[in-house]
Amino acid sequence: MSVAKLAVMGSINVDHILNLKFFPQPGETVQGKQYQVAFGGKGANQAVAAGRCGADITFIACVGQDDVGKNICQQLGKDNINTSAIRMIEGESTGVALIFVNQQGENIIGINAGANGSLTPECIHHHEVVIKEADALLLQLEIPLNTVLLAAEMAKKHLTKVILNPAPAQEVSDKLLSLVDIITPNETEAEHLTGIAITDNTEAGKAAQFLHDRGIETVIITLGSRGVWLSEQGKQGKVISGFPVKAIDTIAAGDTFNGALVTGLLEGKDILSAIRFAHAAAAIAVTRRGAQPSIPWRSEIDAFLAEQG
């Protein structure tokens, strides 16, 4: 039996991470520690998570014509990712993210898109065959929205399942939502999409129904340490709890969850088993620092799950 194929399209960044006791107020300087430079970007993080989980994955992205872009592509190859659809953009720098992490493991992030802005509709026309041959396409919103829309339209045309992680939080058109099979917002992103604050399970259910009404079959709202709210069209929604761990850095938790979730689904796991698998991957990631350095390998996830019984 052939292995199901995954296409991920999205951003690549270099993360500059500084740990602080607390986030500074405007005009305030806070002394930091444990400065770290690591590879990140939502698209790349999710691709790495899928690659390390064992997915057959091709990544569609852009990097700058700089040393860091070359180094990132080499590293992605080591993470079991097909990098043939990553373009190097002449005269452009690789994307950059400036990240502060507080003592609770929370983060605030500023981004310079750099080469990510060059992932245009014209660019992905060259890679339509990757989307056509994939069984699933995983998307995020750190690249131009018109590119995300076109990729989703291509996927729909070729009967490729569309999974959208609508991050970072922003408005998304009903046209794009109508092309999505599975959506995975966090609470903030869900509120942006629906106008409904996720204060409890009732509100989570209302937000999920809003998204179902726009044509999305499966809604998974991530709730941080509480787990996720799973809602499938026509079924009663419910919380699927995560694994309790001591978080030290949540930077790539959502990305790890998404990459692992899609990998599990492509392996034929049912939705509950795929979520449990993704919860395990994310639980490991939050106990480590950085974005891609925190993402676990398949053997680590399997061992974690075996310990849970």
How far, rounded to the nearest angstrom, does the alpha carbon of residue 217 sit from its chain's CA centroid? 19
Q: Which of 213, 255, 270, 302 is flagged as catalytic?
A: 255
255 is catalytic: yes
C-alpha–C-alpha distance, residues 76 and 47, integer Å? 8
Element (H, E) at 63: strand 56-64
C-alpha–C-alpha distance, residues 56 and 69, integer Å? 22
Q: Are 53 and 263 in contact (CB under 8 A)?
A: yes
C-alpha–C-alpha distance, residues 174 and 289, integer Å? 36
Only one residue has tokens 């400065």, namely: 35
Q: Is the dihedral of CA 41, 45, 46, 51 positive or negative?
A: positive
* Nearest 10 degrees: Cα torsion 177, 178, 182, 188: 20
C-alpha–C-alpha distance, residues 171 and 248, integer Å? 30
Write out the two tokens for 256: 């790890």
Burial (0-12, 13-18, 19+ Cβ within 10 Å), 268: exposed
Separation in Å, CA 183 to CA 96, 172, 193, 250: 26, 12, 11, 20
Which residues are known catalytic residues?
A: 255
